[in-house]
Structure 1
Amino acid sequence: MRPPFVVYILVLASGVIHSAIYFPHLPETMASHFGGDGLPNGWSSKTAFFQLETFIQL
């Protein structure tokens, strides 16, 4: 059985609220990729990072 559409909207809204709260507190450059050793090896701006995450959520 498929969950109601309202569940998807609530999950999306909670992601937007979460991002709006934490966005100002994050550094301008964020690690966006990690190697097998667990160390970051790819970087992006926080704006690009959140744009990608928003696209993935949709």
Structure 2
Amino acid sequence: MSMLFAWLAFVRMDLGELWFMSSCQMNRLRSSYFQKMLDVILWVGRSYKILLLA
């Protein structure tokens, strides 16, 4: 389950980077916000995986 979330997060990160790279300065600020959100999602996913393996 956590693998699925991590995979979805990575896919969204790739799509987000492509989208924001072709956008204006305003969207770059939004990009960093989404990047932080994705970092949190990945961190939660990793913690969940560690709990499952423990």
Tell me, which stretches of 5 or more residues in structure 1 are unaligned? Answer: 30-45
Asked which structure has the greater RCO (Cα within 8 Å, sep 6+), the reply is 2
**Match of residue 30 from structure 2:** 49
RMSD across aligned positions (CA)? 1.5
Tell me, which stretches of 5 or more residues in structure 2 are unaligned? Answer: 41-54
User: What amino acid is aligned across from residue 10 of structure 2 in structure 1?
Assistant: A
CA distance in structure 1 between the partners assigned to 2:21 and 2:33 by the alignment? 17
CA distance in structure 2 between the partners assigned to 1:54 and 1:24 by the alignment? 13
Q: Name whichever structure is richer in helix by fraction.
A: 2
Which aligned runs of 4 or more in structure 1 are off by greater than 3 angstroms? Answer: none
Higher Cα radius of gyration: 1
CA distance in structure 1 between the partners assigned to 2:37 and 2:10 by the alignment? 14
User: What amino acid is aligned across from residue 33 of structure 2 in structure 1?
Assistant: L
Matched residue count: 39
What is the correspondence of 1:12-27 to structure 2 with a 5 Å cutoff?
12-27=9-24
